[in-house]
Amino acid sequence: MRIAGFTALLLAGLGFAGGRPGQAALSPEEIYEKTAPSVLTLEVENSDHERFVGAAFLALRPGLAVTAWHVVHDAQKIEAWFSDRRRAKIVGLVAKDEKLDLALIEIEANDRPRTVLSTNTPRIGAKAFVIGAPKGMDFSIADGLISQVREFEGVCQYQLSCPISPGNSGGPVLNDLGEVVGIVSWRKAGVQNLGFAVPSLEVLRLDSRRPAVPWPVRVLGKGDSFSEKGTLNGERVKSDPRGLAEFRQALAELAGTRVTLTLETGGAVQSFNFEAPPAEHGASSPLKE
């Protein structure tokens, strides 16, 4: 009993919450007002100088934000801001786990409120809310259900019916108490409202006490703290507003018409003229957003 009590106190100190019987559910308006001040929009520039948007949220301790690893893994530069348009300086990467698709980043925002992470597995059918920047529309809230709890390559995932688009990744999945139950990770391409989130308790697997490593984070050795752990799903592809998935979709919408494609690589420019092919039926691959 003492051990259980100590664990409960430790989780409470870290900003985790279990179910509290009799606590009234919040309205969507109240959930947004409670959580939005802790959510960040991230604009990332990668090593190919492509820019795309993701999300993050404050948790655990002052100045620490949780996001999806695939959002920041190749970042050369990151800009971040809150819903009140206040900018936040990114100090660096604290910890990450590629298999879980989670990352902890240090930011200069010690005076901001933090989210509460839930210790409970949500019931199937429970209401869920996501806050993020779908297609760059920052600080948008959407709702849905916890459709199912699934396992992929040994990693537990929450299946969501909430609408998820590029820009939602790394954002919080909230229950009706405004607690974070998961972190948006990926969706199934070509399917309506079939997304997945990493349970919030998995954040405890990351060491939040490490000093931040400034960006850009270099590729480190096999024995290093940030060595890769493999991928949750080898076919997942990061999707950004100008990414491969959007290109394929645009090409499919032009099926049967003549198009000109200009390809620039290493300063060399090539142009191709061809008839856009029809979309492949049944093709579906999971995309990180």
What is the rounded CA–CA span in Å between residue 180 and residue 190?
27
Q: Is the model's pTM score more than 0.85?
A: no
What is the rounded CA–CA span in Å between residue 145 and residue 130?
10
Is 84 part of the annotated catalytic residue set? no
Is 185 part of the annotated catalytic residue set? no
- pLDDT one digit per residue (tens) for the chain, 289 residues: 343 443 443 454 566 666 555 689 999 999 999 999 999 999 999 989 999 999 999 999 999 999 999 999 999 999 999 999 999 999 999 999 999 999 999 999 889 999 999 989 999 999 999 999 999 999 999 999 999 999 998 899 999 999 999 999 999 999 999 999 999 999 988 888 999 999 999 999 999 999 999 988 764 443 333 333 333 332 333 444 345 555 666 677 677 777 777 665 544 555 667 777 876 554 444 555 5
pLDDT at 153: 86
C-beta separation of 38 from 112 below 8 A: yes
pLDDT at 29: 98
Which residue in this structure is represented by tokens 């009993």? 1
Listing DSSP states for the chain in one string gives -HHHHHHHHHHHHTTEE---TTPPPPPHHHHHHHHGGGEEEEEEEETTS-EEEEEEEE-SSTTEEEE-HHHHTTEEEEEEE-TT--EE-EEEEEEEETTTTEEEEEES-TTS----EE-SPPPTT-EEEEEE-GGG-TTEEEEEEEEEEEEETTEEEEEE-S---TT-TTPEEE-TTS-EEEEEEEEETTSTT-EEEEEGGGGGGS-TTSPPBPSSPPPPPTTSTT-----S-TT-EE--TTSHHHHHHHHHHTTTSEEEEEEEETTEEEEEEEEPPPPPTT---EEE-
Is 70 part of the annotated catalytic residue set? yes
What is the rounded CA–CA span in Å between residue 75 and residue 94?
14
What is the rounded CA–CA span in Å between residue 234 and residue 13?
36
pLDDT at 242: 41
Which one of the listed residues 38, 70, 200, 240 is annotated catalytic?
Answer: 70
Which one of the listed residues 169, 185, 200, 239 is annotated catalytic?
Answer: 169
Which one of the listed residues 38, 73, 101, 239 is annotated catalytic?
Answer: 101
